[in-house]
Amino acid sequence: MPESARRLTLGNDTINATDAVRVLGVVVMPDLSLDKHVTAVSSKCFFQLCRVRRSLDDESVAMVVHAFVMSHIYYCNDLLAGAPKVVTDKLQRVMNSAAWVITNTRKFDHGLSHVQREILHWLDVPEHVTFKQCLSVYKCLHGMRPPYLSEMCRPISSFAGYHHLCSAFSFAGPLA
């Protein structure tokens, strides 16, 4: 793309185009991919993980990791729905490292997935994204979300022409 096409001139001001934009803390590329966002989150989290184990007891380590690492991974991860495995694997590696730090285990110790699921009660990144989406839909259908969201989420049986589908009656709860 020529350099002049990457600039916008408004009166005396010139605005240069950028390769990514940060919106509410999420780095979005022009093609709406989240590669740079995931890379930025991963690097912040690894930086925190490298520093946390040095001078804290086990309980404090767990609290710090949850506060500074897991909160970054979970923030706006609904946007990762349908993201390629390559993207979610970066965040999964961070979660694995966080589990090693909290449990004080080594990288090649067996049973990491058991530790994450049974002891820490963590879902893998793609599973967590799906869980958050399902929870949001549930809350929309039960009136626990703002009306502007609840209006966009309706059971299939409420649409004309779809009431004959088997899936139209799989929702058992009342609508608010």
**Considering its fold, how many domains does the chain have in total?**
1
CA distance 73 to 69: 6
On whether residue 149 sits in a domain, the answer given is: yes
The 3-state DSSP class for residue 20 equals: coil
CA distance 157 to 159: 5
| Range of the structural domain that residue 30 is part of | 3-158
Region of 143 (left: φ > 0; alpha: ψ -120 to 50; beta: rest) is: left
**Cβ atoms of residues 45 and 73 within 8 Å:** yes
The set of residues, in sequence order, having a beta carbon less than 8 Å from that of 138 and lying 6+ positions away, is 144
On whether residue 144 sits in a domain, the answer given is: yes
CA distance 52 to 29: 31
Region of 170 (left: φ > 0; alpha: ψ -120 to 50; beta: rest) is: alpha
On whether residue 127 sits in a domain, the answer given is: yes
The first and second tokens of residue 167, run together, are: 């899936």
On whether residue 166 sits in a domain, the answer given is: no
**Cβ atoms of residues 141 and 174 within 8 Å:** no
On whether residue 169 sits in a domain, the answer given is: no
On whether residue 129 sits in a domain, the answer given is: yes
pLDDT tens for each residue of the chain, 176 residues long: 555 567 778 888 888 878 888 888 889 888 888 889 999 999 999 998 888 877 788 899 999 999 989 999 999 888 899 899 999 999 999 999 999 989 888 777 777 888 888 889 999 999 999 999 999 999 998 889 999 988 888 777 777 777 677 766 665 444 43
On whether residue 104 sits in a domain, the answer given is: yes
